Amino acid sequence: MGGLNRRDFLKLLGLGTAGVLGVPVAASAAEIPAVAFGYHRLVAAKETRSICAYCGCGCGLIVYSKNNQVVSTEGDPDHPINEGALCPKGSSMSDINTIVADNYTRVANARRADKVLYRAPGGTEWQVKDWDWALEQIAKRVKDTRDATFEEKDAKGVTVNRTQAIAHLGSASLDTEENYVIHKMLRSLGVINIDHHARL
């Protein structure tokens, strides 16, 4: 394809397909109908490279946005891991930010939680809290649980210095250094039930 990389080729193919199908190729974002399907939704969209956060494969994504709203996400053809492919879960990534409404336009996902919501034990209503409150609560409950359940020795008198009342589930999207720091923190608390969500 002489000088034309796979990504440029796919973009040209998409725009070409739009032309063949009689879809008008607009010159500015204002002229673009906010249609959820078809390659013309990508015209004049801002491209941002990212990584799918759903599993440990770490597939490369291109996020297309207009007016700070995601209009589409696609696999990044230049990414060495997925070379443009995405599984169905990764393909639905754009729905985190916007969803397709009844009239086939993308609108902000009103159910997306972007604040700390707290429901007290036995409560029926969610309360909006700030992050400082939430982090303090998490730290307090971890400390209280750890102190109340800490075992210095097991039933046979062997020194164990552990708590079995806390477990930690890691993320396949964390890197080696992040896993190292998290592991150190958990071991310092005496947590021994440490797992990871990847099942590769």
- Residues lying near ligand SF4 in the complex (CB under 6 A) are found at 52, 54-55, 57-59, 82, 86-87, 89-90
Nearer Cβ to ligand SF4 (55/160): 55
Closest CA to 150 of 183, 189, 194: 189
Q: Which is nearer to ligand SF4, 145 or 171 (CB)?
A: 171
CB of 88 to ligand SF4, least distance (A): 8
Q: Which is nearer to ligand SF4, 15 or 172 (CB)?
A: 172
Q: Report residue 188 as tokens.
A: 């310092």
- The token pair at 195 is 């797992």
For ligand SF4, the closer CB: 43 or 74 = 74
Distance CA 122, CA 56 (A): 36
Residue whose pair of structure tokens reads 């990764």 in the numeric block: 90
In the complex, what is the shortest distance from the CB of residue 129 to ligand SF4, in angstroms, rounded to a whole number?
Answer: 30
Q: How far is the CB of 50 from ligand SF4 (least distance, A)?
A: 11
Kindly tell me which of 77 and 90 has the beta carbon lying closer to ligand SF4. 90
Q: Considering only CA atoms, which of 131, 48, 40 is closest in space to residue 93?
A: 48
65/91 with CB nearer ligand SF4: 91
What is the nearest approach in angstroms of ligand SF4 to the Cβ of residue 68? Answer: 23
**DSSP per-residue letters across 76-111:** -TT-TTTTT---HHHHTGGGGTEEE-TTS-EEE-TT
Cβ contacts of 105 within 8 Å, gap of 6 or more: 34, 35, 36
- The residue number whose beta carbon is nearest to ligand SF4 equals 90
Contact 41, 32 (CB under 8 A): yes
Rg of the chain on CA atoms, in Å:
24
Looking at residue 3, its amino acid is: G
Q: In the complex, what is the shortest distance from the CB of residue 79 to ligand SF4, in angstroms, rounded to a whole number?
A: 10
Closest contact distance (angstroms) between CB of 101 and ligand SF4 is 25
